[in-house]
Amino acid sequence: MKDKTNLTGLNPENFQSVINGKKTDLYILRNSSGMEMCITNYGAIVLSIMVPDCHGKFENVVVGFDTLEEARRQSKDYYIGAVIGPVAGRILRGTFRVGEKDYHLQLNSVSNTLHSGDNGFHTVVWQARQPRENQLFLHYLHADGEAGFPGNIAVRMTYTLTEDNAFRIDYEAETDCDTLFCPTNHAYFNLTGIGNPTTSIENHLVMINADFYLPTDENTNHTGEIRTVADTPFDFRSCHSIGERINQNNLQLLNGHGYDHCFVLKKAALHELSFAAACISPVSGRKMDVYTTEPGLIMYTGNYLPGFTGMHNTTYPRRSAVCFETQCFPDTPNNQHFPSIVLREGELYKQTCIYQFSTQS
């Protein structure tokens, strides 16, 4: 039964629990134009973003769940809607060196580490405080050695549903010992609207502000090469539908089972908040522009979504949703020519990601 107290129709009681002695709950953000977001502080998971289409009809545009149990089960393997960290993406053989010490992470993707292993940020209970209707503060103290990473890392995230219809994430962190730090958000978007079944995102139009991308091998590990997008299916400098070239006989698309690649964002200055990508559903007219201070953007076209059932019996088949993960390049520890993700003791980490919604007919 849909709950009538919120547009999404989620029952807060289904998210109220205690995990490892910490309380979980459902948090609802609203802005004055009627947009709504539902979030649980378990994994800082975004469960819904209710966005108007070009006729003013509000629908959820992210993969989500009715209960905490379901969200936990599916985010464990698919990282649905969660924050990923301390380090997003794959680390070859789960090994890295900071200073004079080598660190070894849990191997959860062939013989590599994906998204910091099975005990990353997506599986912890964040301390949450909602100071106003459109904003949520999320804090987590990542203890030295947790998930294999050095340093007590104090992480602060602010989720804001802005008055101009954007979901804005501000990240801040500090550590008491040099470590690696590179979080991201793993929301799965379908701008036509999540349904039963959720329709394919292959009709979504995409633009990505990148002249280069990072090729991967058959295990989605980075080869270290930085390759031009020119004359390849990775050229999104002008608008293309996701499906137009996704099934081409291209080794990179075969390796990723579709798009699962990091794009090198064009920036006038390092750390500037700049345009990364745009995505439009030609069916609903909903448009999402992505902005970030980070140097990279992963477009992952939901190639491994298995069709499970989520919120209000909606289903999520393969390629029914797309992730735009803003972050530094993956596997920087094993590719010294990539920008560093070392967070030094005493340094303040600060990054911003904006998912800006609008319509276009």
Q: Which residues are near ligand BGC by CB under 6 A? A: 78-79, 220, 260, 298, 300, 304, 325
Return d(Cα 255, Cα 57) in angstroms, integer. 38
Least CB distance from residue 323 to ligand BGC, whole Å?
6
Q: Which is nearer to ligand BGC, 79 or 357 (CB)?
A: 79
Least CB distance from residue 303 to ligand BGC, whole Å?
7
Burial class from Cβ neighbours inside 10 Å (0-12, 13-18, 19+) for residue 336 reads: exposed
Least CB distance from residue 302 to ligand BGC, whole Å?
8
Options 122, 186, 240, 312, the catalytic residue: 186
Least CB distance from residue 349 to ligand BGC, whole Å?
20
Structure tokens at 94: 């789960």
Instruction: Give the other-Cβ count within 10 Å of 145's Cβ.
Output: 11
Q: Which is nearer to ligand BGC, 112 or 175 (CB)?
A: 112
Burial class from Cβ neighbours inside 10 Å (0-12, 13-18, 19+) for residue 339 reads: middle
- Spatial CB neighbours of 269, under 8 Å, sequence gap ≥ 6: none
Q: Which is nearer to ligand BGC, 76 or 245 (CB)?
A: 76
Task: Tell the residue number behind the tokens 């890295």, with chain if given.
Answer: 96
Q: What are the DSSP calls for 270-296, one per residue? A: TT--EEEEEEE-TTT-EEEEEEESSSE
Sign of CA dihedral 118, 119, 125, 127: negative
The single-letter code of the amino acid at 228 is: T
177, 144 Cβ separation under 8 angstroms: yes
Q: Which is nearer to ligand BGC, 35 or 83 (CB)?
A: 83
Return d(Cα 260, Cα 279) in angstroms, integer. 16
| Alpha-carbon separation of residue 90 from 2, 101, 112, 161, 222 (angstroms) | 38, 20, 7, 30, 8
Q: Active-site residue 69, yes or no?
A: no
Q: Which is nearer to ligand BGC, 185 or 284 (CB)?
A: 185
Return d(Cα 350, Cα 293) in angstroms, integer. 9
Least CB distance from residue 338 to ligand BGC, whole Å?
16
Least CB distance from residue 133 to ligand BGC, whole Å?
31
Least CB distance from residue 277 to ligand BGC, whole Å?
15
Helix (H, G, I), strand (E, B) or coil at 202: helix
Q: Active-site residue 312, yes or no?
A: no
Q: Which is nearer to ligand BGC, 78 or 140 (CB)?
A: 78
Q: Which is nearer to ligand BGC, 99 or 304 (CB)?
A: 304
Return d(Cα 104, Cα 88) in angstroms, integer. 15
Helix (H, G, I), strand (E, B) or coil at 266: coil
355, 238 Cβ separation under 8 angstroms: no
Active site residues: 186, 325
